[in-house]
Structure 1
């Protein structure tokens, strides 16, 4: 591990791995300071509360490796203690059901990131895999409540119209926590140059993913292809607005992807990813230091590397979460 990687705040804007000691050890091996860890996708309120309780139990049982993040100070502390900070995040607002009060309840439980929609329609708005009706009036109320309670709004899997209306509605920065540019590959999950510019122009943030089906060379991609994609986004929105959002699915197999790619986990098929292999050089979370090395290999300066690897995420989280 290079000294630059060791010294840097390293934040992953999205991981949805199969949580367990092996993954937590790999986070430590990779020098991960903090990560937005998914605890809700298709689950309703009760099942999501159970997932949060389960994750908190794991944090307690693996306290030598992990700590819960409620503030950016907790990220700084995780770095000082040589631990990985777990940020509780949702990939769908489905868990708030039709009750705005659940947003504050989740905030009190420590949830710090909520994506509005996961691929399809919910009460808030529309995902990226169906006709987009935009942000509902209930969605507008939800955005105001997410702002008030200091929860970061994520739009990665959200439709273009719902995203645009959310960006305009929100009083705090919103993000695409894990996306790629459609300028390098056309895909319903990728964002156009215009969409990337729009979120950045309105104070938002872009986490760049390495999920192979969305990368230009697919499963042939290497860590250098991932750097090319990050570079592409930086050239559009600037280096202060970009971070990492790998979308690691470490430990999961076929059944998990079947659940993810069907509406509500059980209805119509939305997409088929085919074979899923992370880019060569960063196949596992433990290989995170290779990313810093690839950035240096691409001629990036130390200041830019520190920003992209986590400094930018920490700053924008602070703007949303508050003191």
Structure 2
């Protein structure tokens, strides 16, 4: 592992792998300091609580390599103790159901990032795979409550109008935690230059994903192609507003993608990704240092590398979580 990678705070803004010992060990191998782990997509309140209980049990069981993140201080402590900090995140506000009180309950359970919609409409707003009616009245209340308790609003899979409404509504920075630029590849999940500028102008943040279907070369992508997408966004909105959000799905088989790509996990198919293979050079979480090495090879300054690999996420988390 390079000295620069080893000495940096490395934050992955979105990971939805099959969370088990081998994946957590790979996070340590890759030198990942903290990671936003998805604990809810299509699940309701009860099932999401079950997922959180299971994750907490694993954090206890593997306490020599894992720790729960509630604050940015917890991330600094994870770095010091050579552990990976686990941030609980949702990819859908579905688990809030129609109860604003659940938002604070989840915050107290450790949930720190929530994406408003996952691909389709829910009570809050609309996803990116269907006509977008914008943020609902209830959605505005949800954002206000998320601002109050300190949960980061994520808009990665959210439709354009709902995203614009959310950016305008939120009093705290919001994020696209895992997206790619439409400027390199047209895709319903990718964001236009205008959308990327809109979130940056509102003090927001962009995590760039390496999910191959969203990259220019698809399944033939390499770590350099991933770097190209990161550089595109940095050139557009500046090096202070960009970070990493890999969207790793390590350990999952086709059944998982089947579930995730059907509306509410059981109805119509929303999209077909085809062959899903991570870019060569960063196929596994353990290969994370190769991304830092690619940045060095491309002539990035040490300051820029440290910002994009983790320091920028730290600042945004601090602003939203309040510590």
Could you say whether these structures have the same fold, taking a TM-score greater than 0.5 normalized by the shorter chain as the test?
yes
Alignment of 1:102-117 (within 5 A): 102-117=102-117
Post-superposition Cα deviations, 1:238-275, rounded to whole Å, max 9, x if no partner, equal: 00000000000000010000000000000000000001
In 1, Cα distance between the equivalents of 2:160 and 2:145?
22
1:182 positional shift = 0.2
Q: Secondary structure at the match of 1:148?
A: helix
Q: Secondary structure at the match of 2:210?
A: coil
1:221 positional shift = 0.3
In 1, Cα distance between the equivalents of 2:153 and 2:227?
25
In 1, Cα distance between the equivalents of 2:154 and 2:297?
31
In 1, Cα distance between the equivalents of 2:304 and 2:208?
15
Equivalent in the alignment of 1:234:
234
Post-superposition Cα deviations, 1:35-81, rounded to whole Å, max 9, x if no partner, equal: 00000000000000000000000000000110000000000000000
1:303 positional shift = 0.2
Q: Secondary structure at the match of 1:112?
A: strand
Equivalent in the alignment of 1:264:
264
Equivalent in the alignment of 2:41:
41
1:282 positional shift = 0.0
Equivalent in the alignment of 1:294:
294
In 2, Cα distance between the equivalents of 1:296 and 1:133?
43
1:313 positional shift = 0.2
Alignment of 1:298-313 (within 5 A): 298-313=298-313
1:164 aligns with 2:164: yes
In 1, Cα distance between the equivalents of 2:72 and 2:319?
10
1:15 positional shift = 0.3
Q: Secondary structure at the match of 1:27?
A: helix
In 2, Cα distance between the equivalents of 1:230 and 1:249?
20
1:284 positional shift = 0.1
User: Cα RMSD (Å) of the superposition?
Assistant: 0.3
Equivalent in the alignment of 1:74:
74
Equivalent in the alignment of 2:278:
278
Task: Figure out how many residues of one structure are paired with residues of the other and give that number.
Answer: 323
In 2, Cα distance between the equivalents of 1:19 and 1:2?
26
Equivalent in the alignment of 2:186:
186
Equivalent in the alignment of 2:27:
27
Equivalent in the alignment of 1:216:
216
In 1, Cα distance between the equivalents of 2:103 and 2:260?
23
In 1, Cα distance between the equivalents of 2:260 and 2:20?
20
Equivalent in the alignment of 1:9:
9
Could you tell me which runs of 5 or more consecutive residues in structure 1 were left unpaired when the two chains were aligned. none
1:132 positional shift = 0.2
Equivalent in the alignment of 2:255:
255
1:277 positional shift = 0.3
Equivalent in the alignment of 2:52:
52
1:142 aligns with 2:158: no
1:192 positional shift = 0.1
1:203 positional shift = 0.4
TM-score by length of 2: 1.00
In 1, Cα distance between the equivalents of 2:297 and 2:263?
41
In 1, Cα distance between the equivalents of 2:5 and 2:225?
20
1:114 positional shift = 0.2
1:180 positional shift = 0.1
1:33 positional shift = 0.1
In 2, Cα distance between the equivalents of 1:19 and 1:6?
23
1:88 positional shift = 0.2
Could you tell me which runs of 5 or more consecutive residues in structure 2 were left unpaired when the two chains were aligned. none
Q: Secondary structure at the match of 1:142?
A: helix
